[in-house]
Amino acid sequence: MLNTDTSFPMNMYIPYEFLGKVFIYLAFFTLVGTGIALLIGAYSFKNHRIIFPGFVLFTLYLFYSPAKWLCKAFRIRDTLVDDILIDVRNAVMCDDFLRVKGKKILLLPQCLRHPSCKARCDPVHGYECKRCGLCDISKISEAADRCNFQVFVIPGGSFVKKIFKEYNPKACIGVACYNELSENMQAVSFIPVQGVLLLRDGCFNTEANVEEIIQKMEMGNV
């Protein structure tokens, strides 16, 4: 008669010590690799000389949380991780961005809007700027017209997919706070992308570097 008992034998050996060592080694190499990527990225960011960009981007995106933890452990501002990711991505994508001839878009966060803004929010395109002049979006939009960029003022990252699906841009400039910008630049990295950090972030009444945004649009308008 066949034995149908599928339970584990009571004397089965589970190598807890070996598994523990493997875990420790993996954690150690993860931290070392992340630390090396941070050092290389910090050097690149400070000296504006990009080295090993593929390794830095892959490692810091894969181990984003450990990289933040390492910064905090050494009393370094954890936004350095995002600074590195944005700066390296901008450098890597710059040449391709300059060569693009097709549709180009500029994604602005809705928090740049004036508190008295009356613009309505379209479910796909986001807020439709009336160019009333109360905030910087009006000035940026006028410059975008000259540089052949389509401007979208969006309430959140979910609008990015909708806009890309409908508009099918060939290049993109994104403006956002640290973590949102680095995350969304990675999400749309299948096309040439450039990022600009907010000068002052938050949920409302934020501030952008208008001149840098216009400069990037002018770079792409060739």
| Model confidence pLDDT, tens digit, residues 20-50 | 778 888 888 888 989 999 999 998 888 888 8
* CB contact burial 154-190 (16+ within 10 A = b; e otherwise): beeeebbebbbeebebebbbbbbbbbbbbebbeebee
Q: Would you state the pLDDT for residue 25?
A: 83
Element (H, E) at 14: none
- The segments of the chain whose pLDDT lies below 50 read none
**Per-residue pLDDT at 108:** 96
Q: What is the pLDDT of residue 27?
A: 83
pLDDT for res 172: 97
Q: What is the pLDDT of residue 5?
A: 57
Structure tokens at 204: 């409302």
Quick one: pLDDT at residue 12?
A: 65
Contacts of residue 150, defined as CB under 8 A and 6 or more positions apart, other chains included, come to: 103, 104, 105, 106, 144, 167, 169
pLDDT confidence of residue 1 = 52
Domain boundaries, the chain: 16-88, 100-220
The DSSP secondary structure of 199-212, one letter per residue, reads: EE-SSSS-EE-HHH
pTM: 0.84
| Range 100-220 has CATH code 3.40.50 | yes
